[in-house]
Structure formats: structure tokens, C-alpha cells
Structure 1
Amino acid sequence: MGAEVRWLINILVFANVYHSLASVPFRKFEYKFSFKPPYLAQKDGSVPFWEYGGNAIASSENVRIAPSLRSQKGAIWTKSKTVFDWWEVDIVFRITGRGRIGADGLAFWFVENKGAYDGQVFGSSDKWKGLGIFFDSFDNDNKHNNPYIMAVVNDGTKEFDHANDGGTQALAGCLRDFRNKPYPTRAKIEYYMNTLTVLFHNGMTNNEQDFEVCLRAENVHLPKYGYFGLSAATGGLADDHDVQHFLTSSLYPPGQQPTPAGQPVRVSPEEETKLTQEYAEYQRKLEHQKEEYKKEHPGTTKDHEGEFDDWYESDSQRELRQIFSGQSQIFEQVRSLSQKLDEMIGRQERTMSLISSIQTGAPQIAQQGGVQQPIMTDSIRRHEVDAVLQNQNNLLNLARELRNYIVEVHTKAESIMQAQARAPTAQVQSLGYDTVSLVNELKDGINGVKREMETVGQRMLTQPPCATNCVSMITLLMVAGGLLIIIFLYSLYRYLYNI
């Protein structure tokens, strides 16, 4: 008995699954009733197959139906009516604002005639004929039941009840918060077999499949064909109403799938047999006409088969040509790599020779014009050369000053001697021994400095640079210049004191 019950349960489950699978509608994406990023809007700002107005703004990433400014209204509508009975719309949108509450809200439309762009009902016209699904974010009736999602069906004669937020006209609805969410909110609206279903994604997660049922209503009768649209409005409070994509799919019952464009229409077996016979009859007539033409024109009906074979290459020839082309490219690459490798080897050898010459301390030999010349591995630095030249200039200036001073002393001495010769009775103080010796000492000092400078210059020209333990040339010149200055100052002091 237990086995029979299990078999019965399995049969019922299988029948239920089969029935549900058999009732799943066929979906076809309708690009003329959809928009999505990227490149949502064209360069001129238009959206393909759609038209918008009011304060709506279209960009490459979304359509801002109404911006976050007071008293703004906008809408976007499809240019053409639908051509299918049942449909499903997937909307991704964001409603954001700085206020604790927002206004007024966003509306989805499926109506027989397009509404206005600055109407009284969420930016669209009142007394519409069709379906309106409102994402209402402002609490007009002070019942603290907003944000709220509701579906309202109108036959074109009723005005929307703003005072009660449409509560007396709502077909169904749910209390859901869709403002200022971390991720975009989504709504999936399906109208199939006179049943309206609205699924909602609250935007708290990034999972695109995390939907929950907001409302479901049966025996809903809408216009057979209509326009899709979106509208939004703001009042004293304001939000940004952005729609990122609007994707529409047409729904078809199982077994009623439309024939895709570009696919041939299937014909019955009888028609297929008839077409095959007609084609065979046409082939026979064509062959008969060819034979008659050959008999009537025997000189001009030569068999030209194989005449143009030389113009085309066979598969084997094409394959050989491709192989040869590939091998030629490989050879060129190998040759290029070989040249680069030779360059690298040459550079490595030159580097090794430089390193070995530096380690051994021997001068390098360079080849210039067939003559081998030594290349010094080390030389005096630029700042050292500048310092030597500056010291030499200072010494020359000091030597000129000393020469001028000696000439001046000699001139004064001659003038005194001439004056004494002209006036023998005059009392002229003669030069003392100290002054004469001072002048002689100055001459000897200057001659000694000159000899030392000549010796230093000859050493710089003939001898290589000193090692690290030698006294540098700059130091030697500075010491010599200092001594010369001291001698000059001391001699000048003694001379002035004696005079």
C-alpha cells in the first residue's frame, strides 16, 4: 500500500511540473520598446525609438525623468504602439534626494494614447486609458504609508484621487521604500493572460535575482495595443528620478512562438514534393536547351572546362604558399635576433675590456687614424682645473702689483738722487741699509715664486695625476699664494714704518 501511495505522489508531482513547464511563455526581446546603456542617447540627445519632453534629460548612461528641483515634470514615451498581446517590462531606476522625504514620484504607463509631458498625474495626463503603476514617495493623505507602489487601471473617464494618494482607485499595491538605496532598485512588470504581476527589488543587495512579489491581480483587461511610458514630477520637495534601463519582452503562449526574422517558413510535405518536381522539370528543360544550342552552333560551343584553372590556386598550392610565407617570416625574425645578439656580445666584450683595464691600472689604447693613443682612465676634474686657473690668475695679479710697487720705489729713489745731485748743499736723507735689503728680499721672493710656479707647471705637464696619498695641486697653490701675500704685507709694513 505504501509503494502505491509513493507512486501516486510521484505521478502527481510529475504532472504538476509538466503542467508548469508547458505553461511557461515564450519570451522575445523587443528592442524598439527598450533602452539601456551604454550609448543610451545619441550625440544629438535623442533616444532611438523613444521621444521625451518636459524637464526630462537623456544621457549616455540614464534618462533623468525629473531633476531634484522644485516643480519639475518630464516624461518619455515610445514612438510606436506595441504589436503583441502580452509583455514583460524590466525597469532599473534610482530615486535619490537630500531630504528625509521626497516628492512626488515616478510612474510607469501602458496606455492607449500617449500622455502629456507636464500633466497633473506624476507628470503625465489625467483620465488615461490603460495601466499606471505609481512609485509614490510623498504622503498626501498623512497616513504615513509612503513610499508606496500601486497599480491603477483607468478607462479614460476617471480623475486621479490626489487627496487620498489614489487609495480609492488602486487595483493593488505594497508598501516598499525605494529612495536613497545603495544599489539601483528594480521593478519587473508582467502582463500575461490578463494577469498583472509586479515584482520588486529593494536595492539593498547587488543580486539581480533578489525579487519579491509586490502585487498580483487577475482579470485585468488593458488595451490590446498601446504605448509604454515613464513620467515623474516634483513639488515643494524634490528628488532625482533616474531610469537606467527599460527592457521589454513580448510573451507568447507555448506553441504560438513567432517566426524569427530571416528564417524560412516551413511548408507542408505536399508543397515540398510539388516544388521538388517543378525544380527537376526546370533542370531537364535547361539541359535540353543546352544540347540544342550546341547542335546549332558547333564552332562556338567548345568545351572551356579547365580554361581558367591557371587563374586559381588549388588547396595544396594555397597550403604550400602559406607554409612558405610562414617560414620566411620565421627566417626574418631569426636573422633579426641574430643581429641583436651579435650587438649584445660586442657590447659585453667592450665592457669586459674596460673593466679589466681598470682593474690592472694600465692605460687603455684607442685607435684613431691608424695611430694608437693612450686613454687615461683617470684625469683632473673640471672644478680642479677651474681652481688652478683661478689661483694662477690671482698669482699673476699679485705679481703685477708687486712689479708696479717696485717700479714706483725705483722711481722715487731716482728722483731723490737727481734732486741731491742738483743741490749738493741740501740735506737729503739717504736710503738706509734696511730699505735696500728689503727690496732685495722682495726680488728674491718673487724670483723664487716664479721658479716654483714653473716647476709646478712642468710637473703637471709631464707627470700623471697623483695618487690619493699625494698633496693636491690646489692645496700647494693655495699655500704658495698665502706665503706670497704674507711676505708682501710684511715687506710693505717694514717699508712704510722705516719711511
Structure 2
Amino acid sequence: MGKMNMAAEVRWLTLFIAFTFISTLNANNVHRKFEYKYSFKPPYLAQKDGTVPFWEYGGNAIASSENVRVAPSLRSQKGAIWTKQPLNFDWWEIDLVFRVTGRGRIGADGLAFWYTAAKGAYDGTVFGSSDMWNGLGIFFDSFDNDNKHNNPYIMAVLNDGTKVFDHTNDGTTQLLAGCLRDFRNKPFPTRARIEYYQNTLTLLFHNGMTNSDRDYEMCFRAENVILPKNGYFGVSAATGGLADDHDVLHFLTTSLHPPGQMAIDQHTNADEQARISQEYQDYQKKLDQQKEDYKKEHPEQSHLDKEELDDWYESDNQRELRQIFSGQMQIFDVLRNLNQKLDEVVGRQERTLSLISQVQVGGVQVSGGQQSGGQPVQLIDTIRRQEVDAVLSNQNIILNTAREIKTFIGDVNSKAETILHNQARAPTAQVQPMGYDYQSLISEMRDTLNQVKRDIAQSYTKLSGDGQTGNCPTINCLSTTVFLLLLVVQMIIMIGYNIYRDNKGAQAKKFY
């Protein structure tokens, strides 16, 4: 009974903490407002005359009903698109959906998001816009100018209107924050969510590998970022020797307001709300007049009374009730899921308490395995059979590997002992420095010369004994030239034989 009361108290306490946390979040929640004058998206992005409402573009940019091609995939192209009106709010969030596609393995130059005090050029030197800007530039750089293999890269650069962009180092010397992300040639459009709220700049990036809206990851977050008030939004792109298509599909702007500030904004925009309400009423009157004209032109369908028409359409009250019911159902689903999670937590706590009570029943454990109350300790099997089998299997694998390593080491040891034994028996098998045995070469040359002298003496004796004196007794039969020629030939043969013998010996030593 005590456990049930404790579980109920834990459940109600958790519910109270959860509702308090949700209420605190709602109290500190940021008010958001979609700004259509600073946004564009398909399917009717551009008008029939090629203009984009509330925006202006130039350079090589091309606007269509589906996207804005800021820079096409041609060499040395530059383009940009800028808002016509400056911002009338301080904090904002931008959802930028774009594609950077090209046929090359490397792209160029890249795409840039701008928030500046004044609109930039349409054919500038920094990603298609003006240099020495005053404000923020977020660059999606796809070309590696500094050859450090750190592209494609996303970077944020601040400028006060006096600094020249460092193209040589890809702006790394002026970098505020950035991350290395690949955004070229993705199956789905890549996305960037840029938020500037209370002097904190955050960029979340979606790499375009999926079509899910939840696959954002943090690229960077920078604090104490001071930007000029009432600036302009812009997007620019440029190509160089290499070229990509730089397409912007969505540019959605949401203004962020701290709690309590929206009421002032609504009061200041009362005239605009009255104008919109008057336009809506005029549209309703025009629609009723068109219905009356249709009934006059088609009298055969006039038998449909108002009640039947009401059955086909829902009234404003019905729509409001349906929305309220849908919201209540969502709240109910959230509370039911929260209740299930709480039940799981309470169940785990109860199981844990029961296991602890099984181990410690009747007092504190003693060293002999018995408790002070005399009851034996109930041990709980905390490891399962399949886990034991897995551990034994891993041990067997380790033992087999150790045996193989031991066998391999034994083979290496036996081979090393064999080599040492052979070297002890035949010292000439040791490694000798490459070269020639000059003493042996001189001995062989001396023996060869002695052999030549003996052959000459025998030839002379034979000629003298036969009586064929001729010119031989007075003139040497072997000329100096022939003798030197024979000597050189024999030396070449002996040198070649020594080289061949040394090579054979060196090849034989490699096996040891």
C-alpha cells in the first residue's frame, strides 16, 4: 500500500513539474510572424513580366515561376537579388532553400546571403555583390582558392564598410564562424536556417541527402554579433573559370519578437489590419454578386435551396469548432504519451525497489554470506546464458589467436637459430662489403703471364729444333701489340668473371 501511494505521489509530482516547465517555456516563447514582403517561393515566384514581387534582381540572374537562377552555369557570370524595402524589425529567421549543381568535380565560385545596411551591386567582386559592405555576409564557397582542400565551406564574415575581402585566403583571416559542409550536386535541395535573435547568430544546415525537415545540424553559433538596423536582404552568386547553376527556390523570412512586444506592433499596424478587413469584405460582396449572376444565368439549378448548399460547405463556426476539437485531440495525445512514459518510469522504479528488497531482506549483510536476521542472501542472475556463450566464444577465439602467434614466433626463432648456426660454420657466408679481391686478381694475372711465357719458350724451342731459323732467332715472333691485346682480353674476362661471382654470392646471401 505504501509503494502504491509513493508511486502515485511520484506520478503527480512529475506531472506538476512537466506542466510547470511547459508553462515557463510558453511564458518565454518568442513571437513569430511571417513577413511576405521579404519572402518568395514557388509556384508563382515570378510574374508574367518576369518581376518578383517586393524584390529586384539584376546582372545575369534569371527569375522563373519555380526559382531564381542567380548565376547560370556559364563562365564569368554574376547576379544578385535584393529586397526593395528595408527591414522594420530587429530580429529575424531566414529559411533559405537552394541548389548548387554542376557537371564538374569542382565547382565555382559560390553563393552568398547578405544582410547589409545598403543594397549591393549586381556584378560585384565578392560572390557577385559589392565588396566593403556594412553588415553580414554568409558565403557558401565551393572553390578552393588557397589550395588547402577545405572547400566547399560555409562561413560568416562581418564587415564595417572598410575591409576588403581576402580572396587569396578564402576569407579565413576575416572569418567569424563557419563549418565544412558539402552542398553541391545533392539529390534534394540543400537548406540553411539563419537566425539572428538578441545579437546571437545561428546557422542550421540541411545537406540535402533526405527530404525530411528534421535533418538539420548545427553549423555555427556566434554571440555578441552587432548588425546595423533597417538593413536589406540579398542573395548573390558568381562563377569563374569553372561554373555551377546557383538556384534559390525558397527565401522565407520570419520576424522574431520578444514576449510582450507583439501587442505594440499590432497597435501600430491597426490601419493596415483595417485595410485588409475592408478588402476582405469587398471580396465577399463581389463573390455574392457573382453567385446571384450565376443563378440568373442558370435557372434550372435554382431549386437548390440554401439548406442544401449549407450541407456542402461548412460555416465559420463549424470550422472554428473543428479546429478547436483538433487542437484538443493533439493535447490529449501528448498527455496520453506523457502518462505512458510516467507509467514506464514508475514501473522501472518499482522493479528496482523490489530487486533491492530481495537482496537486502531482514537487515544488513554480513561477511559469511548470511544476514543478521539469519536468512540467506538471494542472489540474482544478472547475466544470461547467451551472454556467457558469447564470452566463451570470444575467449576461444583469443586463445586460438594466441596459439597461432606462438607458433609463428617459434618458426621465426628456429629460422634465426639456423642462420646463426650456418654463419658459425661458414664465416665466409657473412655479409661482406661489395668490391673486388685485388690480391686474387693480381695472382691470377701473374699466373697467366707465366703461362704465356712458357708457351712462347716452347714455341721458340720447337722452331729452333726444326732448323727453321728465318727471322725468328733474331726477331721476336710475338709483337708488343699482340701481347698487350691478349693481356687486355684476359683482364676483361677475369673482371667479368669476378663480377658474376660476386653477384651470385650476393643473391645467395639474400636467402639468409
Residue 137 of structure 2 corresponds to residue 132 of structure 1: yes
Tell me the equivalent position of 2:160.
Answer: 155
Deviation larger for 222-231 or 164-173: 164-173
211, 217, 231: which one pairs with 2:216?
211
Q: CA deviation at 1:324?
A: 12
Provide the residue aligned with 2:84 in structure 1.
79
Shift in CA distance, 39/163, structure 1 to aligned 2, threshold 3 Å: same
Written as runs of structure 1 = structure 2, the 5 A alignment for 1:354-365 is none
SS in 1 for 2:87: coil
Instruction: Work out the CA distance in 1 between the residues paired with 2:183 and 2:41.
Output: 20
Q: Residue 234 of structure 1 corresponds to which residue in structure 2? A: 239
**Correspondence for 1:90 among 89, 95, 101:** 95
Structure 2 CA distance for aligned equivalents of residues 156 and 191 of structure 1: 20
What residue number does 1:109 align with? 114
Counterpart position of 1:459? none
- Out of 29, 34, 39, which is 1:34 matched to? 39
Which secondary structure state, in structure 2, belongs to the residue aligned with residue 241 of structure 1?
A: strand
Partner of 2:225: 220
Partner of 2:322: none
2:177 paired with 1:172? yes
Corresponding residue for residue 249 of structure 2? 244
User: What residue in structure 1 maps to residue 64 of structure 2?
Assistant: 59
Deviation, structure 1 residue 222: 0.3
**What's 1:413 paired with?**
none
1:121 aligns with 2:98: no
Task: State the alpha-carbon separation in 2 of the partners of residues 101 and 221 from structure 1.
Answer: 35
Taking the aligned partners of 2:163 and 2:19, their CA distance within structure 1 comes to 47
CA distance in 2: counterparts of 1:64 and 1:123, whole angstroms: 13
The aligned amino acid for 1:107 is A
Task: Name the TM-score, length of structure 1 as normaliser.
Answer: 0.51
What does residue 397 of structure 2 align with?
Answer: none
CA deviations over 1:321-378 (Å, ceiling 9, x no partner) = x9996399xxxxxxxxxxxxxxxxxxxxxxxxxxxxxxxxxxxxxxxxxxxxxxxxxx
Task: Output aligned runs, 1:273-284, within 5 Å.
Answer: none
Compared CA separation, residues 6 and 236, structure 1 to 2 (3 A): same
Q: CA deviation at 1:15?
A: 5.1
Taking the aligned partners of 1:20 and 1:87, their CA distance within structure 2 comes to: 20
- 1:325–1:232 distance in 2 versus 1, CA, 3 Å: closer
Paired AA for residue 326 in structure 1: H
Secondary structure of 1:20's aligned partner: helix
1:34 aligns to what SS in structure 2?
Answer: strand
Deviation at 1:44, TM superposition (A): 1.4
- Between the aligned partners of 1:247 and 1:118, the Cα distance in structure 2 is 24
Whole-angstrom CA distance in 1 between matches of 2:198 and 2:145: 34
The DSSP-based 3-state class of the residue aligned with 2:188 is: coil
Could you tell me which residue of structure 2 aligns to residue 141 of structure 1? 146
| TM-score under structure 2 length normalisation | 0.50
**Corresponding letter in the other structure for 1:254:** P
Shift of residue 184 of structure 1?
Answer: 0.5
Give the percent of matched residue pairs that are identical in Structure 1 and Structure 2: 75
Aligned length: 272
Seen in structure 2, the aligned counterparts of structure 1 residues 10 and 143 have a Cα distance that, compared at 3 Å, is farther
Q: SS in structure 2 opposite 1:19?
A: helix
3-state SS in 1 of match to 2:24: helix
Deviations 1:158-204 (A, max 9, x none): 11111111112111111111000000111111111111111111111
Give the whole-Å Cα distance in 1 for the aligned partners of 2:300 and 2:164: 79
Offset of 1:208 from its aligned partner?
2.2
Give the deviation of 1:250 after TM superposition: 0.9
Aligned Cα RMSD in Å? 2.7
> CA, structure 1 residues 101+327, in 2 after alignment: closer, same or farther (shift >3 Å)?
closer
1:182 is aligned to 2:187: yes
Q: CA offset at residue 8 of structure 1? A: 8.3
Q: 2-side partners of 1:324 and 1:157: how far apart?
A: 73
Match of 1:326 in 2: 303
Residue 195 (structure 1) aligns with: 200
Alignment map for 1:473-484 (pairs within 5 Å) = none
Instruction: Give the Cα–Cα distance (whole angstroms) in 2 for the partners of residues 162 and 325 of structure 1.
Output: 73
Q: Which residue of 2 aligns with 1:429?
A: none
Q: Distance in 1 between matches of 2:142 and 2:301?
A: 73
Query: Using a 3 Å threshold, how does the CA distance of structure 1 residues 222 and 12 change in structure 2: closer, same or farther?
Result: farther
Q: What are the within-5 Å matches in structure 2 for residues 10-25 of structure 1?
A: 16-25=21-30
CA distance in 1, matches of 2:167, 2:118: 22
Structure 2 residue ranges without an equivalent (≥5): 1-5, 275-298, 306-512
Q: Distance in 2 between matches of 1:223 and 1:83?
A: 12
**In 2 relative to 1, CA 263–46 (structure 1 residues): closer, same or farther, beyond 3 Å?**
closer
The letter of the residue matching 1:110 is Y
Give CA deviations for 1:293-347 in whole Å, capped at 9, x if unaligned: xxxxxxxxxxxxxxxxxxxxxxxxxxxxx9996399xxxxxxxxxxxxxxxxxxx
- Give the letter aligned to residue 224 of structure 1: K
Structure-2 separation of matches of 1:198 and 1:327: 57
> CA 1:19/1:141 → structure 2, altered by over 3 Å: closer, same or farther?
farther
* Matched letter for residue 303 of structure 2: G
Which residue identity is paired with 2:219? Answer: C
1:21 Cα deviation after fit:
3.0
- Residue 22 of structure 1, CA deviation: 2.5
Aligned residue in 2 for 1:301: none
CA distance in 2 between counterparts of 1:71 and 1:263 reads 47
Shift of 1:24: 2.3
- Over alpha carbons, which structure has the higher Rg? 1
User: Structure 1, residues 385-433: CA drift from partner, whole Å, max 9, x if none?
Assistant: xxxxxxxxxxxxxxxxxxxxxxxxxxxxxxxxxxxxxxxxxxxxxxxxx
